[in-house]
């Protein structure tokens, strides 16, 4: 393979990598904005709902974030560990939910009344899923 062709292939691979990274960053920003009404404590984060109660219809595909960044004088990263009681109750717009491996508890009625919910995916293994406390 000649040098020019190698250079062209490397440029194409670099551009594709940049596009992929850009997509992931945009996706992560969008997802972290999706679920931002949370109660925080010093060791974990509990998802309590969606911040934009006025237009829940845009949250059909819900992804629970792995971590959140606290505000204030210092940035603090917290693992999301719980989906709180009634967090998404009666949200008829949610069609799918993705749950990360940091979740250890899904509290009572977290998804009760989510009549459009058809798909729940989990980032971990079946054994990890079975360890989650579901109240």
User: CB under 8 Å, gap of 24 or more: what pairs does 125-132 form?
Assistant: 128/101, 131/104, 132/103, 132/104, 132/105, 132/106
Band of the pLDDT at 38, cuts 50, 70, 90?
low
pTM, two decimal places? 0.64
Q: Does 77 reside within a domain?
A: yes
> Closest Cα to residue 45, out of 66, 73, 72?
66
Cα angle at 102 between 99 and 103, to 5 degrees? 55
What are the pLDDT digits (tens) for 49-79? Answer: 776 666 667 778 888 887 776 655 554 667 7
Domain membership flag for residue 58: yes
Please write the tens of the pLDDT for every residue from 110-122: 999 999 999 999 9
Q: Which CATH number is 125's domain given?
A: 3.80.10.10
Domain span including residue 94: 35-134
Asked if the structure places residue 3 within a domain, the reply is no
Residue 23 lies in a domain: no
């Amino acid at each position: 393979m000649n040098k020019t062709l190698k250079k062209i292939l490397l440029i194409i691979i670099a551009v594709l990598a940049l596009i992929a990274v850009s997509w992931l960053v945009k996706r992560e920003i969008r997802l972290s904005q999706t679920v931002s009404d949370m109660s925080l404590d010093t060791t974990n984060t509990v998802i309590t709902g969606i911040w934009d109660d006025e237009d829940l219809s845009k949250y059909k595909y819900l992804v629970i974030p792995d971590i959140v960044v606290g505000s204030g004088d210092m940035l603090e990263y917290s693992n999301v560990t719980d989906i709180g009681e009634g967090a998404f109750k009666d949200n008829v717009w949610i069609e799918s939910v993705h749950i990360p491996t940091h979740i250890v508890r899904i509290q009572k009625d977290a998804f009760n009344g989510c009549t459009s919910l058809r798909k729940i995916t989990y980032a971990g293994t079946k054994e990890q899923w079975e360890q989650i406390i579901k109240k």
